[in-house]
Amino acid sequence: MLIRFKRNLEKIAMGLLSFMPEEKDVKKLQATIREYEENDHLHLHLWKEGDDVLGAIGVQTVNDNQLMINHLTVNPSHRDQGIGSQMIAEIHRIYADKYDIVPSESVKAFYEKAKDDKSQP
Ligand SMILES: CC(C)(COP(=O)(O)OP(=O)(O)OC[C@H]1O[C@@H](n2cnc3c(N)ncnc32)[C@H](O)[C@@H]1OP(=O)(O)O)[C@@H](O)C(=O)NCCC(=O)NCCS
């Protein structure tokens, strides 16, 4: 299930975000997590199964109508089990009433694939 990021999960969230190609640099990663803590337009959600946090999806309200998925990452030991796709589906469930949901450039390829897979019979 998706849970909201809290400060006590900072280390695990940073570990997950560091798998994004643009978050390899520690300084950049620290700035990113601070943004999620302080900027009201940014929301980080974590994927929890039992006691384990296995993924992260970060979104930004671009304006009153548009929400962008900026970060999407899954623990390497738990990939290819549908967690990335489930996180996207949950974000749609939470936000699609109010916002058009769009992927950032780095999330786009996976987002389009996840969407196409869902539309298969
Ligand atoms: C991308 C990512 C979040 C997918 O998570 P996941 O839980 O493994 O995703 P799912 O199990 O729902 O889907 C797996 C499928 O997506 C494909 N896939 C993985 N990364 C992809 C990408 N960047 N673009 C397109 N397809 C991708 C896999 O090959 C697999 O395909 P298959 O079903 O045909 O075998 C995960 O690979 C990850 O954390 N990558 C590192 C972070 C990253 O690069 N993020 C930016 C891209 S979102």
Task: Transcribe 20-77 into DSSP letters.
Answer: SGGG-SHHHHHHHHHHHHH-TTEEEEEEEETTEEEEEEEEEE-SSSEEEEEEEEE-GG
Atom of ligand 1 nearest to the CA of 16: 39
Q: Specify the pLDDT at position 121.
A: 61
Ligand 1 neighbours (beta carbon < 6 A) = 19-21, 72-74, 79-85, 106-107, 109-110, 113
Q: Specify the pLDDT at position 116.
A: 78
Q: Specify the pLDDT at position 117.
A: 78
- Asked whether 48 and 28 are in contact (CB, 8 A), the reply is no
The 10s digit of each residue's pLDDT in 5-26 is 999 999 999 999 999 999 999 9
The 10s digit of each residue's pLDDT in 54-77 is 999 999 999 999 999 999 999 999
The 10s digit of each residue's pLDDT in 24-55 is 999 999 999 999 999 999 999 999 999 999 99
Distance from C-alpha of 45 to C-alpha of 55, rounded to nearest angstrom: 8
Domains with residue ranges and CATH for the chain: 2-119 (3.40.630.30)
Residue 102 CA to its chain's centroid (Å): 12
Residue nearest atom 10 in ligand 1 by C-alpha distance: 82
The 10s digit of each residue's pLDDT in 91-118 is 999 999 999 999 999 999 999 999 877 7
